[in-house]
Amino acid sequence: MRSDFAGENARLVRLSGDRSVHLDDHLDNLAASSGRVGERAIGERGERERLVRASMPFASQANATAVAIVVAVAVIRRPMVPV
């Protein structure tokens, strides 16, 4: 269930680029379909935090790419020293 929900949210984010609107709509749909509308307010914060943690690999990949670019630029710009 958790991986399906995270995958569906990632698909919605890729389609629109607007995480907040689709996340709220999706949480509403899940709460209504499960019959637990009252629990939605209680579980919403935890679900948002879980989704933020689930998206961390994308953030760390972007950070790794940025570090690789900085290192590449530093290597290219280093002065050539005769040996």
Domain locations along the chain: 1-82
Q: Give the residues of the chain that fall short of pLDDT 70.
A: 1-59, 79-83
Query: Secondary structure of the chain in the HEC alphabet?
Result: CHHHHHHHHHHHHHHHCCHHHHHHHHHHHHHHHHCCHHHHHHHHHHHHHHHHHHCHHHHHHHHHHHHHHHHHHHHHHCCCCCC
- Say what the pLDDT of residue 65 is: 80
Instruction: Dihedral sign for Cα 33, 51, 41, 24, please.
Output: negative
- Say what the pLDDT of residue 71 is: 82
pLDDT in tens, 31-50: 555 555 545 555 666 666 66
- Say what the pLDDT of residue 1 is: 45
- Say what the pLDDT of residue 45 is: 60
